Amino acid sequence: MSNRTLPRLLQSPAVFLLLIWMLVPLSMTLYFSFIRYVLNSLRKPEWTTPALSNWRGFGNYEFVLKSKDFLFAIQNSLLIVCSILFLTVILGVLIAVLINKSFPGQGIVRVLLISPFFVMPAVNAVLWINMILDPVLGLQGIAVGGINDMVDGLRAAPGIGWFFSLWPELTPISFRATQTSAYAVIIMVTWQWTPFAVLIFMTSLQSEDQQQKEAAILDGASTWSQFRFLTLPHLGRPIAIVVMIQAIFHLSLYAEIEIVSRGNGNKNLPYLIGEFANNNIGAASATGIFAVILANIVAIFLLRMVGKTLME
């Protein structure tokens, strides 16, 4: 008996829904990853319907492992996620420390800073790749062009012209090539998520023990030692949380890659799965299973690291 039975049962609808949401599609993926299954095949029309008779064992996995895109996609996924994490944490800490102490207009700067976080990923990508990073028509192209024109004009100037004639002509970077488009993705996502890190770190800084700081000042600690020995350790937990939450979002990064990189060879795991899924469902599913395994490794690692502090 318990008069608490009903309240306890109230969590079951949510648990049940999430369980279905997780298990049904995932078990289908698992099934598809072991059979030959393509959407269009003139040669083998029987492969276009999923059936156990098309069993392929680990064939799809071998196929995926052997494809050069797979390794590239994994490397690229890790490159993108790790770079973003690194940049957002460093920038986040620096900016948070900068704007933490009150100054004229702090509230407005805070609002300006947080805005990128709410931008829709699709808009983020379109905005950056077209209007800012485009080598000809974007701000980058215009800026580079402007500098070149200016330097060009100065070359003709008497007296100092020799100095500027030593300068090379600048060429704008195209962010639509395979590798550079990954950098474009890193730039735009860092722009979007640094505000999030700043906000979390700032909130944490406000709870920093001021008496401890005053004691440190009386003990003769310099500003740098205060930062190094008091502030940074204090930020340990928020940093872990920022890393975990961003990892959740960035491992499944899709819209930015889709918009920036379509057709130029740059890809991460979600994008590669999308490519396979245009026809080869078996391979897409096998890649999906690899993505799940990768996500689980990261998840276990992160939840171990952060889980305990969350529960306190």
- Name residues contacting other proteins, limited to 111-170 (CB under 8 A): 111-123, 125-132, 134, 136-137, 139, 142, 145-146
- To the nearest whole angstrom, how small is the minimum distance from the Cβ of residue 160 to other proteins? 25
Would you list the DSSP string of 107-145? HHHHHHHHGGGGS-HHHHHHIIIIIIS-SSSSHHHHHHH
Enumerate residues 289-308 that contact other proteins by CB under 8 A: 289, 291-292, 294-296, 298-299, 303, 306-307
**Rounded distance, CA 131 to CA 128, Å?**
6
Per-residue tokens: 111: 């609002």
Closest CA to 225 of 235, 210, 213: 213
With binding defined as CB under 8 A, does residue 65 bind other proteins? no
With binding defined as CB under 8 A, does residue 191 bind other proteins? yes
- To the nearest whole angstrom, how small is the minimum distance from the Cβ of residue 62 to other proteins? 19
**Rounded distance, CA 195 to CA 193, Å?**
5
Q: Which of 8, 43, 66, 68 binds other proteins (CB under 8 A)?
A: 8
Amino acid in position 191: W
With binding defined as CB under 8 A, does residue 42 bind other proteins? no
With binding defined as CB under 8 A, does residue 78 bind other proteins? no
> Is 83 or 125 the residue whose CB approaches other proteins more closely?
125
Widest pairwise Cα distance in the chain: 97
> Is 179 or 203 the residue whose CB approaches other proteins more closely?
203
Q: Which of 84, 184, 185, 200 binds other proteins (CB under 8 A)?
A: 200
Return the SS3 of 38: strand
With binding defined as CB under 8 A, does residue 204 bind other proteins? yes
> Is 83 or 133 the residue whose CB approaches other proteins more closely?
133
Q: Which of 11, 53, 168, 220 binds other proteins (CB under 8 A)?
A: 11
> Is 53 or 207 the residue whose CB approaches other proteins more closely?
207
- To the nearest whole angstrom, how small is the minimum distance from the Cβ of residue 38 to other proteins? 11
- To the nearest whole angstrom, how small is the minimum distance from the Cβ of residue 286 to other proteins? 10
Q: Which residues contact 11 (CB under 8 A, 6 or more apart)?
A: none
**Rounded distance, CA 139 to CA 147, Å?**
12
The alpha-helical segments, DSSP class H, found in 12-131 are: 12-32, 59-66, 68-100, 106-114, 121-126
Q: Which of 80, 247, 266, 267 binds other proteins (CB under 8 A)?
A: 247
Closest CA to 197 of 229, 238, 156: 238
